[in-house]
Structure 1
Amino acid sequence: MKIEHLVWLRNDLRSIDNPALYHASKQGKVAVVIAITPQQWKEHNESDAKTGLRAGLIQTLSESLATLGIPLHLIHAEKFAQLPDKITQFCLENGIKHLWFNHDLPVHEQQRDQAVFEALKKHNIATHIQPVDLIVPQTVLSQQGTPFKVFTPFFKRWVTLLAQQDITPFPAPEPQSEPIEPILLDLNWSKPFREDLWPADQDIAKQRLWQFCHHKERHYQDGRDYPIQPATSTISPYLALGALGSRQCLEAIFYTCDQEERDWQDSIWLKELAWRDFYRQLMGHFPLLSMNQPFKPDTNLLRWRNNQDEFHAWCEGKTGFPIVDAAMRQLNQTGWMHNRLRMITASFFTKLLFADWRKGEAYFMSKLIDGEFSANNGGWQWSASTGCDAVPYFRVFNPTRQSEIYDKTGDFIKRFVPELAELDSKSIHNPSSEQRTSCHYPAPIVDYKSARLAAIAAFDELKNLP
């Protein structure tokens, strides 16, 4: 079987709703290739959990593609810089005339893709780049033709464009031959992850999406802030690696809203997906975000405290603030953290410990199974008041008050900080000195009131700088 079309998958590990795979399959016989770049992932702080889920998804994808007669190959390279030569070599050895892939936005990925394009061009191998994997794939701009820097007007324009587009997911390719044997993949680079929580299976991911939309999406706004409640979709790891596509999410939202006779534009969960698009588009518009720089340049002058003992206490969930510690232990044990808790822990880190947001951002990426650079960077810069449409610098979360509101009974704290499990629902949010001693739980590593005032003063100083 002569194959001239090669589809290069990256963070789009799926056969359904995959523009590059769909359009390539319409042009002739296809094969799929995936580049394994462990050193590059390490430099990007990607977690072992994400690496493990990626390996599992590649294995199951290989098996599902094999039923369609589509072979999947792996190219092993340590870093992106090796891919132009390795992909070119693969194409030449296998008679490939066309390479297809979906566009990427971060700077390193764009540089990688441009280098591959130029290398293939020298050998008259055509490159077909499909639109970036966003819900609204075209660039969302203001009436002045400039990028939005505030989410609300972005969202209004985004919804308008969304209403004008076809949201039908691309189907999987038609079978191009009888089923073939899946190629034996070298997955010795895989890492352990919580497969009990996130099975490496496209079908399970799709099932979880539809179950969420059928049973929980309508009430998402009511329960999404309470970490003990199973009110969120928990599909973010599948979105991060592309086991689910954007049109699949839209299809589920539109169908559910239609069945319940409500307007899809009012979906709060849809707005959360729009935030994801917003942060990803910012990566394309402002390359400095991919280079460890804040969106607000003046905040580079902030003198972060960066106390190493406090940093380690935060990482280990031993700050003496129960909700912060429960959240960090959830992250360390599962590779995932509830979104409300991401805001609480990041605010604690950047405003109360007054530690450089980049250190917290990197730690999260090193642990998160759903780590996406754009969303993680956007969330951290939002919390640190250094980013686009960020929280005002004088708004500093009180972790104890957040705990009392969003974990009122203390059940979430009890799950991940079991040494406090015998405390009542009031004192568990801020145990007394005696209770801390008897529970072998540390004293707070920082005083909320004085730390809050110091953080606000540090930001105020920026106003006086030339």
Structure 2
Amino acid sequence: MQLMWFRRDLRVEDNTALQSALNTQQPVYAIYIATPTTWQQHDLSAIQADLIYRRLFELQNDLARLNVPLLYLEVETYQQSVDALLELSQTLQAERIVFNREYEVNELARDARLSDRAPIDVRGVDDKCLFPPGSVLNQQGQYFKVFTPFKRKYLARLETEPLVISKTQPAAAMPSHDIDDGSLPVFSVHSPFTYPRDSSQSYPVATRAIRQRLRDFCDETIDRYQLERDRPALDSTSQLSPYLAIGALSVRQCLARAQFGCSPPLNDGRETWVSELVWRDFYQHLLHFEPKLAKGHNFVVWTEKVRWPGSSAHLELWQQGKTGYPIVDAAMRQLNQTGWMHNRLRMVVASFLTKDLHVHWREGERYFMQRLVDGDYAANNGGWQWSASTGCDGQPYFRIFNPIAQGERFDPKGEFVRKWVPELQSVPDKYIHQPWKWTESDNLFYPKPMVDHKSEREITLCLFQDAKDFS
């Protein structure tokens, strides 16, 4: 008997650990364990919790076609999840527990606890990235601290090592009385799922529908991705990140579809989207080598000395989308209402919080995780540290986005702004990103800019320079 422990890998296709269990030709049970207290500590958003919950029913259907029942337990913490799993494995008389590895500190500690305590074989396998952390290194055998050379090495391997998408085969048939006698916690609508949920209905969870979204993007949109991806008013991004975040899709499936039917080299659109997938893996690799990132520390050591004098009042206005800068406010309202934000705007609002309001990046990181349907710790942490100039890239600390210039460049007619900030519907295009300059601005129910960008930029430069000098 094999016991497959699902976490953030909620799919049966191209699932390395599941395939390992099925290959034994033994009966297989699957288990998912909810841990609401740990989830709360990790700032799991209510909308992502809902996506996970709905996805479990589809996973159950997919597993049933493989003769694999899905069991379900809810305990409070990761530590308790190990205890519950060991008890279940004993009840099932399982010979082995298999799972796909996760690279955050608490997750690694959980899995180490399982390996230390289990009286049976425990096998963790690498599945989350195309190439496991530690397998993409520089000539000195060290990990890459900058994205571009990592990407170059990654893509060189991809050219010589063909993608292999594993196909699942049914497990040995499960004796019917084993699951029908009511003694096992089979997943159902009556299973406890006490974590708060907010509707994720705009994201279908059926496997066929998710695969179709991937196909449609690669058939209809990806070729113009490089040209249009920074325009938030256009529907030009894949919006597949929620499925990657919960593992309903694998990075291998995405890469394979991006390359499907195309001879190298890929066109600019496909190459740019592939680059975004490589960024995702880059941050996972970084987390593996720098566990301090999962503990709230900066990647660049000297930036720990940077002071963040921003106020809680400013943080709250930023969260509410009431800063007086239209592109920032539109983006934050999109996040609050949908659980998703356009990637260009994630950089804009992060820069604004850290460089214009001088609020610590950890506050923004936390708020994003509490709201995002596609919250992924490594990617979210990497993005915030990149924007705050505390992270692992070659850009200096004077990378400071001008929210007016960003709006004018990427939403020139204000279509995105007007959708999310209806108070500005009547503002002419010329003033849409600086409505305070419009002669009728006093009649708008919209705040004046909470800070002056030019002045705050100078303050940021001084704060970082002071920290650097002090170090």
What TM-score does the superposition give when structure 1 sets the normalisation length?
0.94
Taking the TM superposition and a 5 Å limit, the aligned residue runs for 1:190-269 are: 191-258=196-263, 262-263=265-266, 267-269=271-273
Q: Deviations over 1:326-376 (max 9, x none)?
A: 000000000000000000000000001011000011001110000000000
After superposition, the Cα gap between the structure-2 partners of 1:263 and 1:351, relative to the gap in structure 1 and judged at 3 Å, is same
- Native 8 Å contact 2:28 2:171 kept in 1: no
- Native 8 Å contact 2:318 2:332 kept in 1: yes
Q: Any idea what SS the aligned residue of 2:435 has?
A: coil
Match of 1:162 among 158, 177, 197: 158
Shift in Å at residue 46 of structure 1?
A: 1.2
- Native 8 Å contact 2:65 2:170 kept in 1: no
Q: Any idea what SS the aligned residue of 1:437 has?
A: helix
After superposition, the Cα gap between the structure-2 partners of 1:81 and 1:156, relative to the gap in structure 1 and judged at 3 Å, is same
Moved over 6 A (4+): 178-182
Distance 1:87 1:193 in 2: 28
Distance 1:76 1:437 in 2: 54
Note if 1:386 corresponds to 2:381. no
Partner of 1:444: 449
Structure 1's unaligned 5+ residue stretches are none
Which amino acid in the other structure matches residue 359 of structure 2? A
Shift in Å at residue 401 of structure 1?
A: 0.7
Match of 2:70 among 63, 69, 72: 72
Shift in Å at residue 395 of structure 1?
A: 1.9
- Native 8 Å contact 1:18 1:170 kept in 2: yes
Distance 1:80 1:175 in 2: 28
- Native 8 Å contact 2:27 2:173 kept in 1: no
Structure 1 window deviating more from structure 2 (199-208 vs 330-339): it is 199-208
Match of 1:100 among 94, 98, 101: 98
Distance 1:171 1:53 in 2: 25
Distance 2:114 2:129 in 1: 22
Partner of 1:174: 170
Q: Any idea what SS the aligned residue of 2:33 has?
A: strand
Shift in Å at residue 296 of structure 1?
A: 0.9
- Native 8 Å contact 2:45 2:371 kept in 1: yes
Q: Any idea what SS the aligned residue of 1:7 has?
A: strand
Q: Deviations over 1:179-207 (max 9, x none)?
A: 99974251532544443421222221111
Taking the TM superposition and a 5 Å limit, the aligned residue runs for 1:314-325 are: 314-325=318-329
Which amino acid in the other structure matches residue 154 of structure 1? F
Shift in Å at residue 311 of structure 1?
A: 0.6
Q: Any idea what SS the aligned residue of 1:129 has?
A: strand
RMSD: 1.8
Q: Deviations over 1:281-340 (max 9, x none)?
A: 000000100000000111111110121111100000000000000000000000000000
Distance 2:41 2:222 in 1: 36
Match of 1:47 among 8, 21, 45: 45
Partner of 2:121: 126
Distance 1:356 1:379 in 2: 14
Note if 1:463 corresponds to 2:460. no
Note if 1:17 corresponds to 2:14. yes
Match of 1:330 among 320, 329, 334: 334
Shift in Å at residue 262 of structure 1?
A: 4.5
Taking the TM superposition and a 5 Å limit, the aligned residue runs for 1:281-360 are: 281-360=285-364
Distance 2:285 2:193 in 1: 34
Distance 1:9 1:436 in 2: 54
Distance 1:50 1:67 in 2: 26
- Native 8 Å contact 1:48 1:367 kept in 2: yes
- Native 8 Å contact 1:194 1:334 kept in 2: no
- Native 8 Å contact 1:321 1:430 kept in 2: yes
Q: Any idea what SS the aligned residue of 1:337 has?
A: coil
Matched positions, count: 458
Q: Any idea what SS the aligned residue of 2:470 has?
A: coil
Q: Deviations over 1:374-412 (max 9, x none)?
A: 000000000000000064211211101100110011010
Distance 2:27 2:15 in 1: 16
Distance 1:17 1:335 in 2: 27
After superposition, the Cα gap between the structure-2 partners of 1:191 and 1:209, relative to the gap in structure 1 and judged at 3 Å, is farther
What TM-score does the superposition give when structure 2 sets the normalisation length?
0.94
Match of 1:374 among 348, 370, 378: 378
Q: Any idea what SS the aligned residue of 1:8 has?
A: strand
Distance 2:419 2:169 in 1: 45
Partner of 2:183: none
- Native 8 Å contact 1:51 1:190 kept in 2: yes
Q: Any idea what SS the aligned residue of 1:127 has?
A: strand
Percent identity at matched positions? 39
Distance 2:146 2:193 in 1: 44
Partner of 1:26: 23
Q: Any idea what SS the aligned residue of 2:262 has?
A: helix
Distance 1:375 1:54 in 2: 19
Shift in Å at residue 426 of structure 1?
A: 1.5
Distance 1:117 1:239 in 2: 27
Partner of 1:405: 409
